Amino acid sequence: MSGLAAYRAQQRARAVGAGLVGKLPLGARVAFLGDSIFAYSLATSADAANPFIAARMQGEMIQALALDPRINIDAWQDTSRATGVQGSNQGVVGNTTAQALARVPDVVALKPAACIVCIGTNNTVFDAAALADVAEIVRLLQVASIRVILCTIRPWNTARPSSGDTQARRDSFGSFNAGIRALAAARGCILCDLAAALGAPGDFVYAPSGNFYDDLHLNSYGATRGARAMVEAIAKTVQPGNVFTRDFWSGGNLLPNPNFTGSAANGETGLSGVVPSGVRAFRPVGGHVSTAVTSLVANTETGGQSLKVTVTPSGTNEYEVFRLNRSPGAISVPDLGSKWVMMWAEVELDDWPFWNGPLIGLNIQSTGGTTDLLKNYIAGFQSRGFTAQDVNYPLAGRRFISTMREITRADATAVVPKIDIGFCPSGATGTGTLTVHRWWAGVVDDPRPLWNVAVA
C-alpha cells in the first residue's frame, strides 16, 4: 500500500470510528453550538404569564431550515433561563470559544445525531488557543458519536459590537479560518464556509452593510448568502426530503381550507383580485400605501390552489407589509389548552430585489387575561435594519417558514394564523410576486423528550 493510500485508509478508519460515514436519515436531530450568530430565538420576556411574548429567529440557520427542511431542530420556552428559550440550539449571546467548549456537555446531553459548530466571533483575538478550543469541541462531539458540521467565522462590517473591530482581529481572521478548514479536513467534519459565502475566503475584508442589521448580525439578505453554504453542508450529512410535508401535512391541520380552494373577491383597501375561500389579504398597518393584486393558480401538488400576491410599491416608507390570515381570523379549538402547537407555510418569492421576506406568526387566544393574545412568533426573516438602497441579494426561491413549538396556556381556545409579506418601497421599482402554496398549524409532540430533556 502506497503512503497516500495508507493515509486515506487511516483517515477513513478514523471517520468510521467517529461515526462520520454515510448520511443520516431524513429528520435527523441536529443541534447548534455557538454564540449570538446561532441564537435560535430571542424572547422579549421569560415570564410565562406575560400575555405577549414575541420570538425572533435569525441568521443562516433559520434560513437554511426554510430553504431545505430536512433536519429537526426545536426550541421551547423555559422560564428558568435568562433568555426564556431552551432547546436543541445552544447559541448563547456573547460566548467565546472557551465558553462554548465548557458547554459541550449540554449538547452531548441532548443526544443529537449531528451538531453545527460556529464559534470564535467574540474572541478578542483569533489565536492558537482559540483554534485549540474549537479542536477540542470537535473531539468531544465526535467521541460522543455526534457528526460535526464545522463553520468558519464570517466577516463583519466596520464598527462591530462586542470585542471590537481591531487590526489584530482583522490580521488573524484569515489564519483562524484557514485553521478551521484544515481542522475540518483532518477530523472528517463537513465544512460550512460562511466566511467565503460572505465574500472573505482568505484574509479579512469588510462585508457590505446591506448584509447586516447591526454591523454583525445578518438581515435576511446576508443570512440567505450564508444559508446556501449551510444547506450544502447539511445536504452532505442528511438524506434529502422535507420534514414538514412528511410529518405534518397529511393530518391534524387546525387551519380550514389549507389547500386554498374556492374563490372570493378581495375588497380590502389597496388590494384587488380574488382570494381563496376564508382567507383574507389586507394591509394591517396604517400609513402603508403600496397596492397589491391577489390571484389564484392551480397547485398540482396539493390538488388545490396557490395564492399569488403581486405587490406594486408606492411611497417612501422604508418597510411595508401585506398580511394573510383567516376570515374571520380566529379558529376555535376548544381543547387547545396545555397543548404544544406550531405553524408552517410553503412560500415562494420571485426575483424582485426589494423583498424583505415573508414572516409567519401563530397567535393563541385564551379566555383569561387582559388580552386574548398569548404568544406571537415570527420566523424566517429580519424585518428591520435596512432600506431598499441596501438590497443587494435577491431572495428568490421557495421556502418553508415556521414557528417554533410552544405550549399553550390551560385556557387557550383558538388560534389566529398570519403570514406577513414584507418589502421595501423606498426607491423600489417594478412589481414583486410572492406565492403562498399552503399552510399548516396543529398540535405537535412535546419537544423535550425528543431531546432527552426531563419533563417536570
Residues 173 and 228 in one domain: yes
Does residue 250 lie in a domain region? no
Is 396 part of a structural domain of the chain?
yes
What's the pLDDT score for residue 88? Answer: 79
Residues 20 and 69 in one domain: yes
The CB density around residue 429, as the number of other CB atoms within 10 Å, is: 9
In a domain, 331, yes or no: yes
pLDDT digits (tens, 9 = 90+) for 241-279: 999 999 999 889 999 999 999 999 999 999 999 999 999
- Are 226 and 295 found together in one domain? no
User: Domain end: 217, 243, 269, which one?
Assistant: 243
Same-domain status, 228 and 269? no
Which pTM value belongs to this model?
Answer: 0.86
Query: 112 with 29: CB under 8 angstroms?
Result: yes
Same domain, 201 and 275: no
Q: What is the pLDDT of residue 161?
A: 53
- Asked if residue 329 belongs to a domain, the reply is yes
Looking at the domain assignment, is residue 338 inside a domain?
Answer: yes
> Domain range holding 111?
15-243
HSE at residue 398, side-chain half, CA atoms within 13 A, is: 9
Does 183 lie in the same domain as 49? yes
Does one domain contain both 301 and 427? yes
Whose CA is closest to 323, among 260, 417, 394?
Answer: 417
Please state, rounded to an integer, the average pLDDT across all residues of the chain: 83
Residues 189, 263 within the same domain: no
Do residues 32 and 115 touch, judged by C-beta distance below 8 A?
Answer: yes
Let me know if residue 373 belongs to a domain.
yes
Res 434: pLDDT:
96
Q: What is the pLDDT of residue 307?
A: 98
CATH code: domain of residue 421: 2.60.120.260
Average pLDDT over residues 283-287: 92
Residue 251 inside a domain? The answer is no
19 and 116 co-located in one domain? yes
End-to-end CA separation in angstroms for the chain: 57
Does residue 232 sit in the same domain as residue 264? no
Which DSSP string corresponds to 344-403? EEEEEE-S-TTEEEEEEEEEEEESSSSSS---EEEBSS--SS--GGG--S---EEEEEEP
Same domain, 97 and 216: yes
53 versus 445: the higher-pLDDT residue is: 445
**What would the grid cell of residue 409 be?**
396556556
Q: What is the CATH number of the domain that holds 19?
A: 3.40.50.1110
Same domain, 211 and 286: no
Tens of pLDDT, residue by residue over 357-375, are 788 888 888 776 433 333 4
* Interval 395-432: pLDDT, tens: 788 999 888 787 787 888 888 898 989 888 988 999 99
The answer to whether residue 252 is domain-embedded is no
How many structural domains comprise the chain?
A: 2
DSSP-H helix ranges across 259-309:
none
DSSP-assigned states of every residue in 324-357: EEESSS-EE-TT-TT-EEEEEEEEEE-S-TTEEE
